[in-house]
């Protein structure tokens, strides 16, 4: 993985800058259902942006199984 998403802070910045989502550090563990703007279209946009940034495929199936932004970051980070 590149250093482009070395930690959750950089992931939060990406969510804000690329998707327009305001996600604070304390929001990372909140259920995605708590974010009314979150939907499958944003998920696909996120996957595309991250794939371009890190230079590898992100398993969409794994992303679909996540329930929080922290879990998404863990998939992106390959954990």
pLDDT at 33: 94
Structure tokens at 1: 């993985």
Nearest CA-CA partner of 75 in 51, 45, 40:
51
Q: Whole-model pTM?
A: 0.89
Structure tokens at 79: 């954990």
pLDDT at 78: 84
For residues 12 and 28, the answer to whether their CB atoms sit within 8 Å is: yes
pLDDT at 5: 83
| Residue 13 structural domain | 3-76
Tens of pLDDT, residue by residue over 10-51, are 999 999 999 999 999 999 999 999 999 999 999 999 999 999
Residue 39 CB contacts under 8 Å (≥ 6 apart), including other chains: none
Q: How many domains does the chain have?
A: 1
Q: Residue 54's domain is classified under what CATH number?
A: 1.10.1200
């Amino acid at each position: 993985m590149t250093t482009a998403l070395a930690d959750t802070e950089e992931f939060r910045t990406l969510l804000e800058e690329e998707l327009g989502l305001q996600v604070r550090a304390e929001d990372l563990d909140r259920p995605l259902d708590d974010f009314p703007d979150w939907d499958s279209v944003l998920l696909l946009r996120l996957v595309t942006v991250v794939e371009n940034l890190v230079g590898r495929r992100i398993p969409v199936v794994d992303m679909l199984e996540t329930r929080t932004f922290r879990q998404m970051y863990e998939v992106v980070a390959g954990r």
